[in-house]
């Protein structure tokens, strides 16, 4: 109801997460080689099998080529100029939040991510990843009582090697793509979640990713497993300081849903997008994929993408179990010189599998926004159904919107529907709202929020509000 009052406060600001935390970091020298990977693995005191996994990935990566098919343009990345491991210096393993460097706690408070458990708003457990490592995970004990594992993946490698070995790379193979291979070689941390059979996770689980150090890449790895009949809702937020150099973020996220399990994965991505002239910003090259392994399982991706200089990301679902369901709800906003090539893949393998795609692209400034989606209905996917809706909204006349839908239907019983629209934000709508007493800025926010409503309603409440605010900041100054 009070969209505007929320938005009003935020329309005046620029990127407010652009500060740098002054904290001593433990970094390894820039560049990538087998030695660097050994060093990284040693620093994390990893078991031998993990080092082998990384080296294998690295050797595969060396033979691969950076993909060029996306509708994005950027100068070649020098992978030897990147620092692959940076961690805030901490003397020892932390026993509790009290031991976290106050400077770090301050940073996350400033970002609106309070880590002190008593202050965390009801029902959200947070894992905070700062540069390369996880600095704090809240509500560990409470979740532990239910058998839920929510820990940094670096700990999971040591404490739950069987689960990690079984599922890591089971959805996104090491050699799936160039950036996935790179991530497999050098990933430093991320979240690991396991929800045991029949457990409904009582709170939202959330990870907050923060890139702080200069010239650092962030390569997080997330693995979520929902065992039979389990349910979990997971949220991911990201920010970075404003820097003139581009920084690489190449994450891999894998979701596994067994029989009757449900995973809801929500992202509010607000990496630094670069300045108005297009200098700086994050390259967000991410592989996200979930598998509905079991019958009646369901995976929902909801993403609000407002940040990053370049976004290259296709959260996907492999619908293997009979009657399994995949959903993708996306709002992707680009302004100034931002580029986004994003969408989803729905791979229907099992009988009566269903998928829904709702994509809302918003382009402003001189930005370029592409939807790229694949719906594949396999031979055995009897009775599969897909519904796709891809809408593009243009603000101004120097931006671009593109839609690349790919369809592969190998089973004649499938029903696939695709709807697409492109519209400009109409002067007549703005005038109508002006005439009702709303400023042009408020009018645009209201129209855009209405346009995104189908996606926002999929987000948990607090994040829907956050997403609306973000949207207004991202589009600030794009009309008028």
Partner 1 sequence: MIEIKNLHANIDGREILKGINLTVNKGEVHAIMGPNGSGKSTLAQVIAGREDYEVTKGEILFNGKNLLELPAENRACEGIFLAFQYPVEIPGVSNTTLLKNALNSIRKYRGEDELDAMEFLSLVKKKMSLVELSEDLLRRSVNEGFSGGEKKRNEIFQMAVLQPKLAILDETDSGLDIDALRIVANGVTKLKSPENATIVVTHYQRLLNYIIPDFVHVLYDGKIIKSGDKSLALELENKGYDWVIEEAAELV
Q: How far is the CB of 8 from partner 1 (least distance, A)?
A: 9
Joined together, the tokens standing for residue 367 give 């930005």
Q: How far is the CB of 431 from partner 1 (least distance, A)?
A: 6
433 vs 443: CA distance, rounded Å = 6
Helix (H) or strand (E) holding 181: helix 178-186
Locus of tokens 């702080």: 212
64 vs 433, beta carbon nearer partner 1: 433
341 vs 458, beta carbon nearer partner 1: 458
Contact call for residues 468 and 7 (beta carbons, < 8 A): yes
408 vs 419, beta carbon nearer partner 1: 419
Q: Count Cα neighbours of 149 within 13 Å in the Cβ-side half-sphere.
A: 23
Helices 440-456 & 3-11, crossing angle to 10 degrees? 120
Give residues in contact with partner 1 (CB under 8 A).
1-5, 426-429, 431-440, 442, 446-447, 449-454
Q: How far is the CB of 429 from partner 1 (least distance, A)?
A: 5
Q: In 71-190, which ranges are E strands? A: 86-88, 124-130, 133-137, 149-152
291 vs 331, beta carbon nearer partner 1: 331
14 vs 419, beta carbon nearer partner 1: 419
Contact call for residues 316 and 359 (beta carbons, < 8 A): no
70 vs 425, beta carbon nearer partner 1: 425
Joined together, the tokens standing for residue 14 give 């620029």
Contact call for residues 373 and 357 (beta carbons, < 8 A): yes
Q: How far is the CB of 469 from partner 1 (least distance, A)?
A: 15
Q: How far is the CB of 447 from partner 1 (least distance, A)?
A: 6
Joined together, the tokens standing for residue 23 give 């904290």
Joined together, the tokens standing for residue 405 give 């839908």
Contact call for residues 25 and 188 (beta carbons, < 8 A): no
Q: DSSP secondary structure string, 273-341? A: ---TTS-SEEEEEEEEEEEE-STT-EEEEEEEE---SEEEE--EEEE-STT-EEEEEEEEEE-TT-EEE
Q: How far is the CB of 361 from partner 1 (least distance, A)?
A: 15
29 vs 426, beta carbon nearer partner 1: 426
Q: How far is the CB of 426 from partner 1 (least distance, A)?
A: 7
60 vs 430, beta carbon nearer partner 1: 430
């Amino acid at each position: 109801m009070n969209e505007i009052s929320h938005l009003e406060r935020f329309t005046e600001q620029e990127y407010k997460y652009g500060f740098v935390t002054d904290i001593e970091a433990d970094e390894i020298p820039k560049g990538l080689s087998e030695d660097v990977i050994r060093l990284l693995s040693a620093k994390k005191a990893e078991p031998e099998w993990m080092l082998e996994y990384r080296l294998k990935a690295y050797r595969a990566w060396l033979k691969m080529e950076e993909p060029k098919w996306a509708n994005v343009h950027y100068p070649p990345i020098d992978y030897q100029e990147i620092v692959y491991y940076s961690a805030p210096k901490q003397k020892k393993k932390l026993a509790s939040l009290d031991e976290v460097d106050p400077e770090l706690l301050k940073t996350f408070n400033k970002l609106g991510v309070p880590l002190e458990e008593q202050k965390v708003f009801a029902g959200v457990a947070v894992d905070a990843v700062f540069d390369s490592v996880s600095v704090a995970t809240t509500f560990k004990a409470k979740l532990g009582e239910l058998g839920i594992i929510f820990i940094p993946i670096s700990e999971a490698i040591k404490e739950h090697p069987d689960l990690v070995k079984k599922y890591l790379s089971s959805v996104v193979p090491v050699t799936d793509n160039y950036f996935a291979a790179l991530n497999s070689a050098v990933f430093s941390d991320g979240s690991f979640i396991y929800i045991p059979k029949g457990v409904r996770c009582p709170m939202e689980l959330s990870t907050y990713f923060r890139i702080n150090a200069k010239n650092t890449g962030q390569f997080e790895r997330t693995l979520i497993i929902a065992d039979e009949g389990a349910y979990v809702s997971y949220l991911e937020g990201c920010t970075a300081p404003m820097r003139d150099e581009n920084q690489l973020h190449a994450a891999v996220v894998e979701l596994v849903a067994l029989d009757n399990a449900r995973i809801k994965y929500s992202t509010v991505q607000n990496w630094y997008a670069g300045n108005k002239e297009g200098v700086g910003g994050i390259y967000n090259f991410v592989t996200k994929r979930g598998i509905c392994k079991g019958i009646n399982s369901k995976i929902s991706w909801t993403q609000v993408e407002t940040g990053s200089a370049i976004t290259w990301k296709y959260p996907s679902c492999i619908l293997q179990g009979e009657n399994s369901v995949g959903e993708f709800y996306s709002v992707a906003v680009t302004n100034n010189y931002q580029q986004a090539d994003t969408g989803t893949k729905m791979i229907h393998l099992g009988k009566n599998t269903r998928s829904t795609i709702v994509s809302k692209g918003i382009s402003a400034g001189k930005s370029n926004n592409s939807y790229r989606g694949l719906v594949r209905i396999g031979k055995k996917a009897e009775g599969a159904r897909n519904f796709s809706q891809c809408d593009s909204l243009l603000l101004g006349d120097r931006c671009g919107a593109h839609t690349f839908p790919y369809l592969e239907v190998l089973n004649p019983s499938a029903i696939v529907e695709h709807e697409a629209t492109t519209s400009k934000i109409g002067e007549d709508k703005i005038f109508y709202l002006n005439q009702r007493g709303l400023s042009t800025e408020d009018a645009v926010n209201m129209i855009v929020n209405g346009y995104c409503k189908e996606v926002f309603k999929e987000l948990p409440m607090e994040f829907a509000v956050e997403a609306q605010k973000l949207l207004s900041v991202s589009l600030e100054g794009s009309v008028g």
